[in-house]
Amino acid sequence: MTISVTPLSGALGAEIGGVDVSMALDDGTVAEIRQALLDHQVIFFRDQDLDMAQHRAFTLQFGELFVHPNFQLGQDNAEFVMVRREPGDLRIIGEDWHTDTTMIATPPMGAILYALEVPDAGGDTLFANQYLAYDALSNGMKQMLDRLSAVHNDTRVAGPGTGLNGQRASQVREDADWRPTENAHAVVRTHPETGRKCLFVNRVYVHHFEGMTVAESQPLLDFLYAHAIRPEFTCRFRWRPGSIAFWDNRCTQHIAVNDVHDTARHMRRTQIAG
């Protein structure tokens, strides 16, 4: 082993030490980092110094860059999402529990979020292990969910109806030409690398179960949303400038805590195609 792996909670998350991710990494080190991600679902690095080219190069060691359709605003470097809070912002990116970008047919496998400027206290990110959420369900519930798919779309997070751009520095597509993206996914998915089953519904993107109405779906969805984020399935990460969180988007949810209102918080995110 060339890296150290220190678990952060009983549920998920580990801090990785002994590696400078701004450098070109050898295949063995990349394999160790990838294994740590599979074992812990989200991994963290401290005190890293990453410019955009190095952030891109680190991401490319784990797959292809994903360009988020709702953050394509004609800017250079569209593969980066600048997750920015400015003093006075009321809303932030990722302010409710979610898995990223699940409205597309093949959601990203992961994301690498790098902290540029963070408050002295607050602005933490929480993660929840969706393997544990599935494992903790009764056999009867598992059998029922195993047969269900859920319809995911992005109408709550983009498009002219949301009005989010007026409330936060991070901007998304809200133009009249924007159209929603909608796809159905199995409620219980099998992780392609670990073979483990996990729960795959989130309150930001899911609208209803396929073949059911919203009203019929909502009570069970509400139960699953609350169940999926039980404290014993979570970890909480406190940021410092130079910290990185790299999460496996196939088996986790996360939330950016919206608890600092007069302090800037600037992050830079890449996503890895699914």
Using CB under 6 A, list all residues that contact ligand SIN. Answer: 83, 93-94, 100, 111, 113, 125, 254, 256, 267, 269
Active site residue 152: no
Which residues touch 90 (CB under 8 Å, ≥6 apart)? 167, 168, 261
Which residues touch 58 (CB under 8 Å, ≥6 apart)? 21, 22, 25, 50, 112
- Of the two residues 151 and 245, which places its CB atom closer to ligand SIN in the complex? 245
Active site residue 100: yes
Least spacing, CB of residue 8 vs ligand SIN, in Å: 15
**CA Rg value for the chain:** 18
Least spacing, CB of residue 100 vs ligand SIN, in Å: 6
Beta pairing, strands 14-17 & 42-45: parallel
Least spacing, CB of residue 141 vs ligand SIN, in Å: 28
- Of the two residues 46 and 147, which places its CB atom closer to ligand SIN in the complex? 46
- Of the two residues 122 and 218, which places its CB atom closer to ligand SIN in the complex? 122
- Of the two residues 52 and 122, which places its CB atom closer to ligand SIN in the complex? 122
CB 159 within 8 A of CB 174: yes
Least spacing, CB of residue 110 vs ligand SIN, in Å: 11
Catalytic residue among 68, 84, 98, 189: 98
DSSP string of 110-124?
Answer: EEEEEEEE--SS---
Active site residue 120: no
Least spacing, CB of residue 46 vs ligand SIN, in Å: 16
- Of the two residues 108 and 145, which places its CB atom closer to ligand SIN in the complex? 108
Distance CA 183, CA 97 (A): 19
Q: Is 213 left (phi over 0), alpha (psi -120 to 50) or beta?
A: beta
Nearest to 81 by CA among 220, 222, 248, 269: 269
Whose CB is nearest to ligand SIN?
A: 94
Helices marked H in 177-256 — which ranges?
214-228
Active site residue 185: no
Catalytic residue among 152, 254, 265, 268: 254
Q: Identify the residue whose tokens are 């029922």.
A: 144
Catalytic residue among 100, 173, 185, 191: 100
Catalytic residue positions, numbered: 98, 100, 254, 269
